[in-house]
Amino acid sequence: MNERVLDLIKKGNELIKTENYDDALSYFEQALILEPNNAELWNRKGVALRSLGRYDEALECFNKSLSIEPRDNKAS
């Protein structure tokens, strides 16, 4: 994982902790542009979407995460 992606994840995670889910989602989406096959990113995006009440989209993200890494024990 490149440094830019790690930075985006860190910022997104910090925003999740402060319940700023819209901005967190933006950071995770930016990271996914750089690494679209990263299961952790799909999972984090799903967490943000779920927190926003966007359950169908969150489920799609969690399923995508699991399709990339079937044994992903972090998938919500």
26-71 pLDDT tens trace:
999 999 999 999 999 999 999 999 999 999 999 999 999 999 988 6
Alpha carbon distances (Å) from 18 to 1, 33, 51, 64 = 25, 24, 12, 26
Domains and CATH numbers, the chain: 3-68 (1.25.40.10)
pLDDT at residue 70, rounded to an integer: 86
Residue 72 has pLDDT above 80, yes or no: no
- Could you give the CA distance from residue 2 to residue 47 in angstroms, rounded to a whole number? 22
pLDDT at site 74: 63
